Homo-oligomer: A and B are copies of this chain.
Amino acid sequence: MNSELRRLLERLSEGNVSVDEALDALGNTYTDLGYAKVDDRRSQRTGFPEAIFCPGKTPEQVANIGVTLRDAGEVVIATRADQEHAAALLAAVPEARHIENARLLIAGRAPDLEGLVAVVTGGTSDIAVATEAAEVAAALGAEVERYWDVGVAGIHRLLANRERLERADVIVAVAGMEGALPGVVAGLTDAPVLALPTSVGYGASLGGIAPLLTMLNSCAPGVAVVNIDNGFGAGYLAALLLRGRQRRQ
């Protein structure tokens, strides 16, 4: 973008843009809805679009931000949507899909990326969060494979899927309770592992703090961690890793 800056300044210096246009170009790369400044050229800057985090927003706000993004040609992704958010967005952006167990709405799909993302869960109860990761990665262009319920309590289930997992370029490992899955996976394969802790559990799981800590303390290197239940973040980063792979090819 600084090279864009140089070009902009050169054009200004050459009289091809006015000072006001230059100021505009430097400052106004968003659409201002008052309650939101929609970063609707984000995919140009950082590779992927902004998402709509629904909690604390009114259904109308969610719908309007969705329309703004859609009209700007961005993929629309709304996370943690309740029924009111979903209804309003579906009314405004009818092409959106509603993945209910993941509280997710998606409209559009980014161009295909090369490479494979594997999403694996420790248990069946982690599927909702893992689905958010898988759907987001797919919407951003990735090919995604899903392996549910291969946690360490019966490690043969993981070992039985090892060869297939090894084909993945990025593995998103999703687990609640003790959260040991990502570390074990990272010790078995040479793909980078995105560790996604979930709030599945009770008592000393502390709402997901326990698996989060487990993953941060992984003995096996090659693991990095996102926030508890942050399927969006894991899916986004998985796609970004694939995208980086082909950026300069």
Contacts and interface: CB of A to CB of B under 8 A. Distances in A.
B187 A155 contact: yes
Contacts of A154: 30, 37, 39, 42, 50, 187, 220
Interface residues of A, number: 123
Contacts of A229: 202-203
Interface string A17-37: 011001100111110001111
Contacts of A201: 217
A209 B216 CA distance: 12
Contacts of A209: 204, 213
Interface string A132-156: 0000000000000000111111111
A188 interface: yes
Given A47-B190, A189-B46, A183 B152 contact: yes
B224 A237 contact: yes
A26 B82 CA distance: 44
A178 B183 contact: yes
A225 interface: yes
Given A5-B23, A223-B237, A229-B202, A177 B218 contact: yes
A153 B19 contact: no
B47 A160 contact: no
A228 B240 contact: no
Contact of A22 (B9, B47, B191): B9
